[in-house]
Chains A and B, each alone.
Chain A
Amino acid sequence: MQKTAELVITKKILLVDDDQYVVQTLKQILNKFGGYQVNTASDGKQALQEVERCSPDLIILDLNLPKLSGEEVCKEIKRNEKNKNIPIIMLTGKVREVDRIVGRVIGGDYYLTKPCDIPELLKIVQNVLAVKN
């Protein structure tokens, strides 16, 4: 029971990035130091499928994605009534001010640039999930 309860509490995070090393390391960090369940996707289409399949509590989204760009993915999620409340942290190499603004406009809750400060990311993730509850 205890275990079930624990499982329920465990938040699901969808990590979308085309770089497999980024995915691997971040998944490990989030899992180990945040205790989150991490699902991954390596392109935009897959990301949308994952969202549909497991309805994560939080999405960490890279914007440079093959097949479907991060922005498109974000817009798609936000258009969907069921999923539009899922907070999205954008973690990207795009550092321009305009990209930052675009990110916010299309519904990104946070905009972080690579290479990000890990403690900062963990803190943000924690906060976002807390707010959501």
Chain B
Amino acid sequence: MKKDLRIMETKGQKENKAEIYKGIVLVAFLAIILFFIYYFHLRLGTHFFTHFLYIPIILASFWWRRKGLFLTYFTAASYIFIHYFLAQIPYDKNALFEDFGRVPMYFIVSLIVIRLSERMQEEIKQRVDKEEQYQAVIKTSRDGFCLLDEQGKFLDVNDAFCCLSGYEHDELLSMGIKDLKDKKIIPEDRRAIRKIIRDGYGRLQAILRSKDSRIVPVEVIVNSLKTKGKVHYFAFVFDITERKNMEEALVRSNNFNKMLLDSLPFMLDIVDEEGNLLYINHVLENIFGKEVLGKKCWEIYNDDKKQCSVCPLKHNLEIGKTKIIEAGMILGNKTFEVFHVGIIYNEKKAVLKVFIDITAQKKAQEVLARSKEWLQEAVNLKVAELKESEKKLNDAKRLSDIGTLSATIAHELRNPLGVIKNVAYLINKKNKDPAIEKHIIVIEKEIMESDQIIENLLTYSRISEPKYEKIFCLDIFSESFSGLRHKYADWDVRLETNTNCGSKDFIMADRIQMQMLYSNIIDNAYQALVDKRGTITIIEDYDNKENRFSVTFKDTGVGMDESDMDRVFTPFFSKKARGTGLGLALCKQIVELHSGTISIKSKKNEGTEVLINLPIYTQI
């Protein structure tokens, strides 16, 4: 403000001086002209110099405008005074008109000049006002402004630029743009500068270094101005620190978002409301590449290329709402949990989808379910085994009880049997009647049979761990059959033996138990035959490599019903009219004690086949 005042002052002073000079010039002009008029009028009688009076009138009117009229009045008055009072010119009609006609002419000229001058002044004033307005605008502008000459020296700067740079107004005027530039100029700036020099205008971003070494990023708009053959540049300088900061923040935030998206290990995409892919993250990009953008998402992911039945896109998904669906058969029969989130993407409604692979989880569940089933099965199996064992235990206990019981019974029965036998003998000796003798024989035979039953019962209850010894295979049959030979001597039976055993082939087994085994099965075979006739085949197969000795007993007897098959090895099961039902049970026990297997096949009215497998060497 102070500065302005000072400028105003000097301006006023200058004007005053000019006014004085103008006054002097006019007074001088007037004096000279009036003198000439007076002189030549009086002496020569010529009016020529009165024309010169126009000069001060015009000047005064031009310079002072309305005030200049006073000079016109004065001049006119002076003219009249000179004419009538000094020159005393006689009245001449023409001359009068000519002389007095000049006075209005003065006024007319004066007024015209005043008018012109005023108009000029107005124009000048308008121009000055405009300039001042502009200057005021520039001065008060928040953006920096500077005027540079061709060398880059500051010709003028505004306050905002001063603030920006930190220098005083006067300091700046002695400096160049180069003094403010930061040393690191980015290459684009050079290009921009070259363009400005070439085209005369341009825009560039630069970094200013202020007086206090502040770094100020600025954007500069430059325009050139050609005046008097010189090129001046005027530039508007905008402080873009905030913008830069914001941009950086935006970039950082974008980077963070991108990093966040790219670091997410699961698949992520954005689709529009029709399901067209707008964005895919790096996981999906690695799988499909960028070219899938714009295609329908289900055409890319789904194995069957069809939209999921539960697709949330089918129902308008609200922005900010999340819907989770489970989609199977995706990317090669995988199962995903897909989060659908309604969002705004590129100013449009879109759906962000996040895929979480739950295939493993699903599989684990299945495996778990299967394990459960398996476990259940195993438990069931074990329960069955347990039941089986329990049954066996019960059987064993029962057998053990039977054993004790039968030992007692057998013993108790033997005495009476002995007595009966004795009596029968006595009767027979005394008897002479052949009919009675026949009956006695029957008695004796029955006694023998009873004795056999008792024997079986005792044997069964008494059977124990085998006493292993070397037994030649060929001996087993002959030894076993010797006891039966008499019993079935009068039967019409073809007994065939078919063996591959050599004379030195042997098995490790209990001799007595082996005999029991053979004789029991052969005895059964005989018993099964109809009308005491038929064929019994014994096939022995000795396999040293497999450590197996198998024997098959076949008969052409009555066979048995299917329903009885699974009970044949049960103790006390018998279909015979007279049988303890212990024969096969005993066989089974013997075979099992020898770690072997026994099985039976039978067809009603065709015959029965008993297959025994025994190990040659038993691991003891």
Contact = CB atoms under 8 A, between A and B. Distances in A.
B425 A29 contact: yes
Nearest to A113: B414
Interface stretch (A40-48, A72-80, A88-96): A88-96
Contact of A115 (B411, B417, B429, B458): B417
B426 A116 contact: no
B420 interface: yes
Interface string B396-424: 00000000000000111011111111110
A57 B471 CA distance: 43
Contacts of A91: 418
Contacts of A29: 422, 425-426
Given A19-B419, A115-B414, A96 B462 contact: yes
Contacts of A54: none
Contact of B421 (A64, A94, A115): A115
Contact of B422 (A25, A94, A96, A113): A25
B227 to A, nearest CB: 147
A28 interface: yes
A115 B426 contact: no
Chain B CB within 10 Å — which of A22, A93, A116 has the most?
A: A93
Contacts of B415: 19, 21-22, 93, 114
Interface residues of B, number: 21
B455 interface: yes
A25 B458 CA distance: 26
A115 B451 contact: yes
Interface in A53-110: 64, 91, 93-96
A22 B429 contact: no
A26 interface: yes
B425 A115 contact: no
B558 interface: no
B192 interface: no
A32 interface: yes
A26 B426 CA distance: 9
B196 interface: no
B411 A21 contact: no
Contacts of B416: 19, 21
Nearest to A17: B415
A7 interface: no
Given A32-B429, A96-B462, A118 B422 contact: yes
B419 A25 contact: yes
A118 B411 CA distance: 19
Contacts of A25: 419, 422-423, 426
Interface string A18-52: 01011001101100110000000000000000000
A13 B411 CA distance: 24
Contacts of B412: 93
A93 B421 contact: no
Nearest to B421: A115
Contacts of A93: 410-412, 414-415, 418
A118 to B, nearest CB: 4
Contact of B458 (A22, A28, A95, A116): A95
A32 B425 CA distance: 12
A111 B501 CA distance: 38
A123 to B, nearest CB: 13
B429 A116 contact: no
Given A25-B426, A93-B411, A95-B455, A116 B418 contact: yes
Contacts of B421: 115-116, 118
Contacts of B420: 115
Chain B CB within 10 Å — which of A19, A64, A95, A96 has the most?
A: A95
A116 B424 CA distance: 12
Give the interface size class of chain A.
20 to 34
B417 to A, nearest CB: 4
Given A25-B423, A28-B426, A115 B462 contact: no
A95 B455 CA distance: 8
B447 interface: yes
A95 B414 CA distance: 10
A25 B250 CA distance: 129
Interface in B365-386: none
Contacts of A94: 411
A74 to B, nearest CB: 18
Nearest to B429: A33
B547 to A, nearest CB: 30
Given A32-B429, A33-B429, A93-B411, A115 B418 contact: yes
Contact of A118 (B414, B417, B425): B425
A13 to B, nearest CB: 15
Contact of A114 (B414, B426, B458, B462): B414
A115 B455 contact: no
Interface in B164-180: none
Contacts of A19: 415-416, 418-419
Contacts of A26: 422
Contacts of B417: 114-115
A115 B423 contact: no
A132 B11 CA distance: 186
Contacts of A32: 426, 429
A49 B451 CA distance: 33
Contacts of B425: 29, 118
Nearest to A25: B422
A64 B414 CA distance: 12
Nearest to A62: B415
A114 B418 contact: yes
Contacts of B422: 22, 25-26, 28-29, 115, 118
A115 B410 contact: no
B141 to A, nearest CB: 133
A29 B430 CA distance: 11
A32 B414 CA distance: 23
A28 to B, nearest CB: 6
Interface in B229-259: none
30 contacts: A19-B415, A19-B416, A19-B418, A19-B419, A21-B419, A22-B415, A25-B419, A25-B422, A25-B426, A26-B422, A32-B429, A64-B411, A93-B410, A93-B411, A93-B418, A94-B411, A95-B458, A96-B462, A114-B414, A114-B418, A115-B418, A115-B419, A115-B420, A115-B421, A115-B422, A116-B418, A116-B421, A118-B421, A118-B422, A118-B425
Interface of B: 410-412, 414-423, 425-426, 429, 447, 451, 455, 458, 462
Given A22-B419, A93-B418, 12 more contacts: A21-B415, A22-B422, A28-B426, A93-B410, A95-B458, A96-B462, A114-B414, A114-B415, A115-B420, A115-B451, A118-B421, A118-B422
Interface of A: 19, 21-22, 25-26, 28-29, 32-33, 64, 91, 93-96, 113-116, 118
The 5 closest A-B pairs by CB, nearest first: A25-B422, A93-B414, A114-B418, A115-B418, A93-B411
